[in-house]
Every structure is written in structure tokens, then in C-alpha cells.
């Protein structure tokens, strides 16, 4: 998480550039090293082959010539030229000198010493052979063929063969050591490539995650907002382009929610009185009834009809009627308890929803509201009085229509009773009575 937040401090372009630098540079460097190592190994192999030929050829050539001399007793009378044994001997001396300078202190140094010792043992015989061959004349072939010369020649051949075999072992050991070093280099190269590719994969994963995660979060926020979930916000982390996009998305979501709430408020609010309109109060009634039905809790509904409202309109004008409606809504709101809901049902009728209120409690509250409004109406002719009908759950059922029908029946029965009482000169009674 912290690594992702640090990456989000860089712009997308900076992250891509950083990725290219951290991945491509090691890959380029490793490629250059690999090519250099492989070229070095190729050159080393060629040098090893050439060195093997250089080291073994003089001994093998000398052994071959001595073998031939043993067979044909250096028949110079045939007109063939004598081998240059002196040059071969010098070449072999130089070979051992070069081997000693390279392999001194290594594991194959004893084998080099044994091969050189075998050559040192054979060299006197070869030198005598050289001295005998130089003055050789066609008529002196019988001097080389005597038993002593043949014995020395055979001894020299054996010593040189021993030196050749041991030198061959030296060459093989050096070759195997070079092969092991090359294998070790190749293993290091493979390990370097593996680590570099793993590091590149991890960096690529971190880069992709830093790019895709905010996009996924924006997508989830957009889906939630589309489903109508309130308060949806995209996480804002870092300072890159995606962070800027998240900030703009959050601003857009806040504006959308404010606009939506404003529209909902306008759609559910009566523009004159500021209380819920017909749609809003009926929706609130349905929602409260559903909740109270699940909990089997009581609920009451007031249907409030204003008295003398038409007379106020006719006598004082429609603006006075509007002021009367606003005054009634204000007085009713003042008498609302926490959780009660008030709405204008239409014209001069209001609905009031009283959650967790029994029918008996509703009758007492309705009596107080009627008394308050009617006392004010008695003092000012531009103030209307009110009559209230009550519907209650569970007494009248759990359907909104049933409660409204019950409240409507009670309201008009109550208004009829008040007209009868007024005609008889009696004091009006409240809905609770």
C-alpha cells in the first residue's frame, strides 16, 4: 500500500519513464555483459584448442619421427631429409616453460612436473640422436642400427610417450577447468537474467497496479452512484492524473447529490408552506406503515381540514388565504413532536403522521391542536380554525388507504357534529371528544 501511494505521487508519464529506466538499463547492461562473456568463452575455446595443438604436436611429432627412425634406422641413403630434432626439442622446452608460468600453484601443477620430468629424462637421448644424425652419411647407416643406439632410441621413445600422455592429461585438466569456469559464468548469467526478469515483472506489476487500482475504484464508485447509493466518493491518493480525475469525480458526485436532493426536495415539498406536498406525505405514510407493521407498533394519522378558509379567501383575497395556509403550517410544525411528519394534502387539507402513537394518545393531541388553532381564529378573523379526523393502526388496519378513509369519516362526522352544535348554540367539541 505504501509503495503504491509513493508511486501515486508521480505522474503516469514519470512512472512509465522510471519503469523504462529501471528495466531497460539493467537489461541492456546484462545483454552487453552476456555478449562479452560469450565472446570471451568463444575466444577462450579457440585458444584452448590452439594451445592443445601447440602443446601436444611437438611431442607427438618427435615421437613419430623417433618411431620411424627406430623402424627404418634413419635410412638417409634413400635421399630423405633428416627431421629437425633440435627445433622440436626447443619447441617442447618452450612449451613446458609456458605451461609452468600459467599453471604454477594450480591443482594440475604436479602433473605438469611429471610430464616435464619425463621430457627431461628423454632429452639426453634425443640430443645424442641429434648429434648422431647431423654427421650421418650414406655409408654410416650401420652405426645407428647397433644395439646400443636402438636401446637409447627406444628409451627416448618411451620417455617421450610418457611425457605426451602426462601432458595430454594436463591439457585435459586445463580444458575441464576452463569448461567449469565457463559453466560457472553461464550459471551467473542465467541467475542474473532470472533476477532481472523477476525484478522487471515486479516493477511492471507495481506500475500496472498503480494505474489499474484507481481506475477500478473509480469504476466501483461510478457503478454505486449509478445505483443511487448516497455519499459515494472515490479515494483520493497521490498527485497524479488519476488523483485529479478522482477529485473531479468526487466534485461531480457531490454536485449530483446536491442537485438530486434539491430535485427530491422540490418534488416532495409544498412550495407555499414548506411542508411535504401530497406525494411526499403519502410516501412518508407508506414507509412508516411498513416499518410499524413489521414491528407491530402503533401509528396514527391526522386529516386536518381548515374551517372558514373559503370565507377568508372571499373576504380578504387569495393572498390572505395563502398567508393563512402558511400560518397554519407554521403552528402545526411548532406542535410536531420528533419523528412526526406534516404535509399539505391539497387545498386547505393537511395530513399529519404520528409514529408510535395509539388512538387514545392521538385523540388527546388532536384536541390540543384544534383548541390552539380555534382560539387564534376566534381572536383574528383572518385566521382559520381546524377540524381533525383520526385514523389509527392497528385499529383501522395497516393500509394507508384504510387509515385515510377512517380519518376522513371521523373528520366529516366531527364537522357535522360541530355544525349541529353551532346551530343549537352549544360550544364546539374537539375530535378527542
The residues annotated with a catalytic role in the active site are: 348
DSSP class per residue in 250-297:
HHHHHHHHHHHHHHHHHHHB-TTTSSB-HHHHHHHHHHHHHHHHHHT-
How many helices (H) does the chain have, and how many strands (E)? 12, 4
Cβ-contact 320, 313 below 8 angstroms: yes
Give the span between the Cα atoms of 295 and 297, in whole angstroms: 5
Query: Which secondary-structure segment (H or E) carries 310?
Result: helix 309-316
The alpha-helical segments, DSSP class H, found in 145-277 are 147-226, 241-268
Q: Find, among 200, 193, 192, 196, the residue nearest to 20 by Cα.
A: 200
> Can you read off the three cell numbers belonging to residue 412?
366529516
Give the span between the Cα atoms of 22 and 347, in whole angstroms: 76
Give the span between the Cα atoms of 29 and 305, in whole angstroms: 91
Interhelix angle for 278-295 vs 241-268, to 10°? 100
State how far the alpha carbon of 190 is from the alpha carbons of 183, 186, 202, in Å: 10, 6, 18
Vertex 170 angle, CA 167 and 176, to 5°: 145
Q: Is 48 exposed, middle or buried (0-12, 13-18, 19+ CB in 10 A)?
A: middle
> Can you read off the three cell numbers belonging to residue 109?
601443477
Give the span between the Cα atoms of 408 and 346, in whole angstroms: 14
Amino acid at each position: 500500500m505504501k509503495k503504491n501511494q509513493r508511486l501515486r505521487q508521480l505522474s503516469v508519464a514519470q512512472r512509465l519513464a522510471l519503469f523504462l529506466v529501471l528495466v531497460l538499463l539493467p537489461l541492456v547492461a546484462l545483454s552487453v555483459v552476456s555478449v562479452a562473456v560469450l565472446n570471451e568463452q568463444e575466444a577462450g575455446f579457440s585458444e584452448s584448442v590452439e594451445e592443445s595443438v601447440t602443446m601436444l604436436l611437438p611431442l607427438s611429432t618427435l615421437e613419430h619421427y623417433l618411431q620411424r627412425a627406430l623402424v627404418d634406422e634413419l635410412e638417409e641413403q634413400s635421399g630423405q631429409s633428416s627431421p629437425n630434432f633440435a627445433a622440436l626439442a626447443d619447441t617442447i622446452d618452450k612449451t613446458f616453460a609456458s605451461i609452468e608460468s600459467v599453471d604454477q600453484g594450480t591443482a594440475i601443477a604436479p602433473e605438469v612436473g611429471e610430464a616435464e620430468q619425463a621430457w627431461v629424462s628423454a632429452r639426453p637421448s634425443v640430443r645424442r640422436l641429434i648429434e648422431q644424425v647431423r654427421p650421418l652419411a650414406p655409408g654410416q647407416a650401420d652405426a645407428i642400427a647397433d644395439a646400443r643406439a636402438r636401446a637409447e632410441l627406444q628409451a627416448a621413445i618411451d620417455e617421450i610417450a610418457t611425457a605426451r600422455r602426462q601432458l595430454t592429461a594436463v591439457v585435459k585438466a586445463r580444458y575441464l577447468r576452463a569448461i567449469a569456469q565457463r559453466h560457472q559464468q553461464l550459471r551467473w548469467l542465467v541467475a542474473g537474467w532470472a533476477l532481472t526478469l523477476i525484478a522487471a515483472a515486479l516493477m511492471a506489476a507495481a506500475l500496472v497496479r498503480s494505474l489499474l487500482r484507481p481506475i477500478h475504484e473509480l469504476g466501483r464508485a461510478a457503478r454505486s452512484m449509478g445505483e443511487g447509493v448516497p455519499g459515494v466518493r472515490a479515494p483520493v491518493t497521490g498527485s497524479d492524473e488519476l488523483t485529479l480525475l478522482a477529485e473531479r469525480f468526487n466534485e461531480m458526485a457531490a454536485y449530483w447529490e446536491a442537485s438530486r436532493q434539491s430535485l427530491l426536495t422540490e418534488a416532495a415539498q409544498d412550495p407555499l408552506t414548506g411542508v411535504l406536498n401530497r406525494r411526499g406525505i403519502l410516501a412518508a405514510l407508506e414507509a412508516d406503515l411498513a416499518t410499524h407493521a413489521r414491528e407491530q407498533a402503533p401509528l396514527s394519522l391526522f386529516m386536518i381540514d381548515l374551517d372558514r378558509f373559503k370565507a377568508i379567501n372571499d373576504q380578504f383575497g387569495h393572498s390572505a388565504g395563502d398567508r393563512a395556509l402558511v400560518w397554519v403550517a407554521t403552528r402545526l410544525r411548532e406542535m410536531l413532536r420528533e419523528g412526526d411528519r406534516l404535509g399539505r394534502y391539497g387545498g386547505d387539507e393537511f395530513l399529519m403522521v404520528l409514529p408510535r402513537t395509539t388512538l387514545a394518545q392521538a385523540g388527546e393531541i388532536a384536541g390540543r391542536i384544534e383548541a390552539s388553532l380555534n382560539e387564534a381564529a376566534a381572536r383574528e378573523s383572518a385566521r382559520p380554525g381546524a377540524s381533525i379526523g383520526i385514523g389509527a393502526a392497528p385499529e383501522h388496519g395497516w393500509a394507508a388507504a384504510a387509515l385515510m378513509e377512517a380519518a376522513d369519516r371521523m373528520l366529516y362526522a366531527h364537522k357535522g357534529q360541530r355544525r349541529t352544535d353551532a346551530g343549537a348554540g352549544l360550544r364546539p367539541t374537539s375530535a378527542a371528544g
